[in-house]
Amino acid sequence: MEVSFYDLSGQAEIPSALLQRTESDLSFFSEKVTPIIEEVRTHGDQALIDFAIKFDGVTVPTFSVKAQPSEFEAAFASLDPEVIETIRYSVENVRAFHEAQKPEEMWLKEMRPGAFAGDRHVPIEAVACYVPRGKGSFPSVLIMTAVPAVVAGVPKPIIITPPGPDGTVDAATLVAAQLVGIEEVYKCGGAQGVAAVAFGTESVPKCLKIVGPGSPWVVAAKQQLTHLLDPGVPAGPSESIILADETVDGKIAALDLLIESEHGPDSSAYLVTHSKAVADAAINALPDYWQQIEPKRMEFSQAVLCGHHGGVILTDSFEKAIEFVNAYAPEHLEILAKEPMSVMPKIHNAGEILLGNYTPISLGNFVLGPNAVLPTNAKAKTAGPLSVFDYMKRISVGYVTEAGYAELAQHANRFAHYEGFSGHALAVSKLRDQLLKGDSHES
């Protein structure tokens, strides 16, 4: 298979096709998820079991939608102790990052003498963390979605994830949940899982928000249920750009191209460079790398890098390569350059920026600490990574003392009269002064 190669030399405009993702058009999925959502709304747990058999390949006729304590115990017993150690290591790093990120519960600033204003940060009452499973098992996603929920103090954080063929949850996912501190894990994924937390079922509690990456089925269901459920950071199929200058070893750039391209055929992954030598070296290195990864992952990576949503892009200059990055607004961005720190200020649109040869996306995805649930489909132009803030809401706070009131009231009264709000004006008029003094007989 040939790696897709796009030579943009001499082109003033970036071809719009290169900026498209597989989730750009969800019309097919939107039509298909509507009856799924309705079935869950109507039949609850039974619909979840039926869809697990139909879509997730579950071979048992019935199973507990909620993971039981015995399943957690079995997960710990079956998992390699070294894997448990790595999960614990990741949880510690991700927790430390989000604890540092967490805002103070309340702040107040004296805006004028005797007049205070600020914010209170309050956790959202119930949040569902979505952990996909269709193309593998992802305890790392559980860590990234659940740790900030716990750090934020969400009273009811839950996990939803598709069941395996035997109606159970992946062992590492259950171990990660318990190490994070969440005991409520429910076996439902896809559009039906989103519907379950939007409506609530006999087993699955209704939630106010859902976070985590998912397939176009999940994205389409979130869109249809936004009137019931906050869909969180727009995280769809994986995407990455490896930005390389002329000093980079193309073999390293190719190595990092594999990372997101192996997620699935709906992913996107590009190497963008102005160096023909780097581009050629990367293209030549990929066939050997493909032979060193699992056949399924090789198939996924080839589908992306040899298809319409991945490959190698050659530009006239490094400035043009940066221009492409900002136009694309990738979920993951690696900067491989002689001075990556000097390049970073020129990047305005990216979910995350990983700097230099020693910071491959793999570290960010699993153990570095910053959240790896990132905006996709160019949403990085307006949104950022999942954070502790996504599990909290901000409430404005104001407090004015008797000494500070008069000055503010004078200006508020003037504004109210100008905008024609006589009720506003009356509330900060001399009438209020008289009432506060206990004289309610004068007007």
104 given a catalytic annotation: no
Measured CA to CA, the distance from residue 22 to residue 25 in angstroms comes to 7
> Of the residues 39, 239, 331, 334, which is catalytic?
331
CB 162 within 8 A of CB 132: yes
23 given a catalytic annotation: no
Alpha helices in 181-336 (DSSP H): 190-199, 216-224, 250-261, 276-290, 295-305, 318-328
For the chain, the C-alpha Rg in angstroms (whole number) is: 26
* Non-local CB neighbours of 29 within 8 Å, separated by 6+ positions: 216, 217, 219, 220
φ, ψ of residue 368 to 5 degrees: the values are: -65, -40
> Of the residues 121, 274, 309, 332, which is catalytic?
332
Query: What's the token pair of residue 410?
Result: 């004078």
CB 335 within 8 A of CB 318: no
The DSSP bridge partners found for residue 106 are 120
Half-sphere exposure of 75 (CA within 13 A, CB side): 22
**CA distances from residue 309 to 224, 244, 334, 348 in whole angstroms, order as listed:** 26, 18, 17, 22
| Residues annotated as part of the active site | 331-332
